[in-house]
């Protein structure tokens, strides 16, 4: 693993290299917006389909106007409340200002300001960065430098920024037919967005029809190699490997991987990807996951991630 300082990261990014960077959500695989070879290398490294666009990370909300064709109502309130932070906004852009490969040919682009001092320092020095999550396509996102190393070895230098504080990807909002919609559930819940928007944004991720607002939701996601069996009933020994909660008992389980207390979705979200990756590190082939948890706030997000991780290909 090649760990580099902020100044070395800036030098390499300006040199059009790919660098892994920390954010409050998950680690990202970054390149500068205009470095087309490096952006292409991100798709190759991740084995990411070319029709899945990348999020553009900015240092300042005022930088949006350089790209946006329109600023939908509510944008200023959202950015004032939640940036820097785990909120991504999809906006119509002036297409010749955002390279086509970044947008995957769409007339829109996704923007956010991450809340991590090291990455903000890099953004201030080198300008906008594109950064998808620093994992191989389909795998659980990387929330520590060790996770980045699991997927990319020493092919990508990393700025070490500690474990990601949230550990869940940003929430993506897109404006459609006069309302902001949730294109991807994430660290910021619908309940937290409601007071700022004046309404609770609905989920519109393509799970109800075939036209998701977010191309990434077409793909299998967040999945370990191990098969996950989602437990909606109490545990009765269905599988000997259990992913569960520190305040519950699983009599008969031989291996228990704990996500945290069942009363604390922040802690559970924080540990989720590490626990999924741990299954593979331990060479386990299947696990039963305790899904007897809430439905609101971050629980909705945790449920969605586990549902996607459990889909078999
Ligand atoms: O928390 C995060 O958002 C992390 C950190 C690194 O910032 N990034 C991240 O990127 O999760 P990625 O590439 O793993 O997921 C980005 C998602 C994809 O599902 C993609 O389809 C969607 O954003 N997306 C990007 N541009 C879009 C656009 N113009 N319209 C709709 N969805 C878009
Ligand atoms: Mg991702």
pLDDT at 219: 72
Neighbouring CB atoms inside 10 A of 208's CB total 9
Is the distance from the beta carbon of residue 32 to the nearest atom of ligand 1 less than 6 Å?
A: no
pLDDT of 211 higher than 70: no
This prediction has a pTM of 0.96
209 pLDDT band (50/70/90 cuts)?
low
- What is the span of the domain harbouring residue 173? 6-197
User: Which of the listed residues 151, 181, 197 is the one where a domain comes to its end?
Assistant: 197
In tens, the pLDDT along 167-194 reads: 999 999 999 999 999 999 999 999 999 9
85: domain CATH number? 3.90.870.10
Classify the C-alpha dihedral 62-63-66-69 as positive or negative.
negative
What number of CA atoms fall less than 13 Å from residue 27's CA on the CB side? 31
* Cα torsion through 101, 103, 107, 111, rounded to 10: -150
User: Which of the listed residues 175, 197, 219 is the one where a domain comes to its end?
Assistant: 197
Ligand 1 centroid–CA 60 distance in Å is 19
Q: Which residue(s) pair with 123 in the sheet?
A: none
- Residue 157 and residue 235 in one domain: no
- Residue 128 and residue 249 in one domain: no
Residue 94, SS3?
Answer: coil
In tens, the pLDDT along 5-55 reads: 999 999 999 999 999 999 999 999 999 999 999 999 999 999 999 999 999
Is the distance from the beta carbon of residue 79 to the nearest atom of ligand 1 less than 6 Å?
A: no
* CA atoms of 204 and 297, how far apart (whole Å): 16
Query: Residue 297 falls within a domain, yes or no?
Result: yes
pLDDT at 204: 85
Residue 60: φ, ψ to 5°: -140, 140
Ligand 2 centroid–CA 142 distance in Å is 9
Residues with CB under 5 Å of ion ligand 2 are 133
253: domain CATH number? 3.40.50.11030
């Amino acid at each position: 693993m090649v760990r580099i300082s902020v100044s070395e990261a800036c030098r390499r990014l300006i040199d059009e290299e790919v660098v892994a960077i920390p954010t409050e959500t998950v680690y990202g695989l970054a390149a500068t917006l205009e470095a087309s070879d490096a952006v292409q290398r991100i798709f190759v490294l991740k084995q990411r389909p070319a029709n899945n666009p990348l999020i553009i990370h900015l240092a300042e909300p005022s930088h949006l106007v350089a790209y946006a064709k329109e600023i939908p109502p509510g944008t200023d309130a959202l950015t004032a409340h939640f940036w820097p932070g785990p909120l991504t906004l999809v906006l119509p852009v002036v297409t010749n200002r955002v390279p086509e490969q970044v947008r995957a040919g769409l007339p829109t682009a996704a923007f956010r300001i991450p809340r991590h001092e090291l990455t903000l320092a890099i953004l201030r020095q080198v300008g906008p960065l594109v950064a998808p999550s620093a994992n191989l396509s389909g795998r659980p996102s990387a929330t520590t430098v060790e996770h980045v190393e699991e997927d990319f070895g020493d092919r990508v230098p990393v700025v070490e920024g500690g474990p990601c504080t949230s550990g869940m990807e940003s929430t993506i909002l897109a404006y459609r037919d006069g309302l902001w919609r949730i294109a991807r559930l994430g660290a910021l819940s619908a309940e937290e967005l409601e007071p700022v928007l004046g309404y609770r944004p609905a989920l519109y991720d393509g799970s109800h029809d075939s036209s998701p607002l977010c191309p990434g939701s077409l793909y299998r996601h967040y999945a370990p190699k191990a098969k996950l069996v989602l437990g909606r009933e109490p545990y009765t020994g269905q599988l000997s490997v259990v992913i569960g909660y520190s305040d519950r008992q699983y009599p008969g389980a031989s291996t228990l991987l704990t996500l945290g207390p069942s009363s604390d979705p922040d802690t559970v979200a924080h540990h989720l990807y590490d626990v999924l990756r741990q299954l593979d590190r331990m060479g386990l082939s299947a696990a039963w996951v305790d899904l007897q948890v809430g439905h609101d706030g971050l629980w909705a997000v945790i449920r969605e991630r586990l549902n996607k991780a459990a889909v078999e290909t």
